[in-house]
Amino acid sequence: MSGGNVLMIGSGGREHALCWKLADSPFVQKIYCTPGSVGISTTDKVECVELDVKDYPATAKWCKDHEIDLVVIGPEDPLANGVVDGLAAFGIPCFGPTKAGAQIEANKDWSKAFMAKYQIPTARYKSFTDAAAAKEFINTAPFPALVVKASGLAAGKGVVVAASKEEACQAVDDILTDSKYGSAGETVVIEELLEGDEVSVLAFTDGETVSMMPPAQDHKRVGDGDTGPNTGGMGAYCPCPLITPDQLLDVKEQVLQRAVDGLKAEGIKYVGVLYAGMMVTKSGPMTLEFNCRFGDPETQVLMTLMESDLYKVMKACVNGTLKQMQVTWNTKLSAVGVVIASKGYPETSTKGCVISGLSQVQSTPGMVVFHSGVSRGANGTLVTWGGRVLLVAARAGSLRAAAAAATAAAALVDFPGAHYRKDIAYRAFTNM
């Protein structure tokens, strides 16, 4: 395999982790990232560039001028908007699904109907565009119909797991009547509340073969003990012991492979990452949702454990040769990532606070720092520039040791209003 240049689309911690891992490949000459970030720009082989990726002809010309042989799309929005279709029309190879494939995340109503059609285990549900009918269903369904979702993309915030029928009905009013999420909430999906442990199972796919990654668990609530409002994710760990090897095999066969085969049957060749959000219930793993891309913050811990060459794996997905690859992971180590958030997150975020203590963390063996919301301030200082500011990831021989190291590292990073969870991975320990 000869070397190539990569274009990464995105600017968050997920994209930082992907650039960090891609830079490790001897087959990657240069990585361009748009719009990128301060942290991403300091990664080996990476240069951040300004491109209007919605202008497909101009982006394709730029890719050809810079000898790009792989475009990697991090966030869901460009995928849902059809960036892969737009660039493919000019012969630019992309790691990521087409607009039709991205529906599996971007249209929850479509996704649930797809799961039902292809017998992918999932919660019972019904979709509505009328608020009165939706509330009637919540109050009369033969199961706890307490999960209310905006059908479209709402930046990870359009899901309410209600504690009561009243709260679920209020969520319907917020989404349908008050248009809290705009056009993303023109349809609501109301689902049965499932109980158990939530686990993220991601897989590489070339549209035929599925190569599953180790299971991870994200921590959505802002406070210790899973308290407070939902966030984009306050930390993650991998591997997650809350799902058994037999259950993982079921997820691979009944969820991931079934989904890829079902998409193919619908005329959709799905290339990239397929992310299954699973609930491990008493009756087995059930699919909460699919995402059409890498998760954030799961990616940051997964990449620290990946042994295979990420560039070669992505190229195999694009070229349809994944079946010939053995994707390997470090099974001797565990990884834990702790997100450090700015004051007010998730309701608001604080910009411009000077960050200190990073050099101490970065010089510690086994530690990696990924930037999510960081910018340059006066005199070249690093300052906060978003809700989730940084993620510190630690690898160690045991999950407990990795969690302790990541939590200790988070304590070294300081800025006004900084907050982080001190219990990432705690769910694994209650069952150990």
pLDDT value of residue 353: 95
Q: Are residues 357 and 399 in the same domain?
A: yes
- 19: nearest Cα among 29, 35, 32: 32
Map tokens 């995928």 to a residue: 79
- Identify the domain boundary among 142, 172, 191: 191
Residue 306's SS3 state is strand
Q: Are residues 277 and 371 in the same domain?
A: no
The Cα–Cα gap between 376 and 361 comes to: 19
Beta bridge partners of 366: none
- Identify the domain boundary among 303, 324, 345: 324
- Identify the domain boundary among 191, 213, 243: 191
Residue 104 near residue 114, CB atoms below 8 Å: yes
Q: 199: part of which helix (H) or strand (E)?
A: strand 197-205
CATH number of domain containing 413: 3.90.600.10
- 215: nearest Cα among 335, 95, 371: 335
Measured CA angle at 108 (ends 102, 109), to 5 deg: 120
End-to-end CA distance of the chain: 44
In this predicted model, what pLDDT tens digit does every residue of 22-71 receive, in sequence order?
999 999 999 999 999 999 999 999 999 999 999 999 999 999 999 999 99
Q: Are residues 8 and 73 in the same domain?
A: yes
Has residue 111 been placed in a domain? Answer: no
Has residue 118 been placed in a domain? Answer: no
Range of the domain at 154: 126-191
Has residue 146 been placed in a domain? Answer: yes
Q: What is the pTM of this model?
A: 0.93
The Cα–Cα gap between 278 and 111 comes to: 14
pLDDT higher than threshold 60 for residue 432: no
In this predicted model, what pLDDT tens digit does every residue of 95-133 receive, in sequence order?
999 999 999 999 888 999 999 999 999 998 888 888 888
Give every CB contact of residue 415 below 8 A, 6+ residues apart in sequence: 342, 353, 354, 355, 356, 383, 384, 389
Has residue 382 been placed in a domain? Answer: yes
Task: Report residue 322 as tokens.
Answer: 């994944």
If phi > 0 it is left, if psi is from -120 to 50 it is alpha, else beta; for residue 284 that is left
Q: 338: part of which helix (H) or strand (E)?
A: strand 334-341
In this predicted model, what pLDDT tens digit does every residue of 213-231 receive, in sequence order?
999 999 999 999 999 988 9
Task: State the DSSP string of 80-113.
Answer: HTTHHHHHHTTT--EES--HHHHHHHH-HHHHHH
In this predicted model, what pLDDT tens digit does every residue of 132-190 receive, in sequence order?
888 888 888 888 878 888 877 766 667 888 888 888 888 888 887 777 777 777 788 88
Has residue 120 been placed in a domain? Answer: no
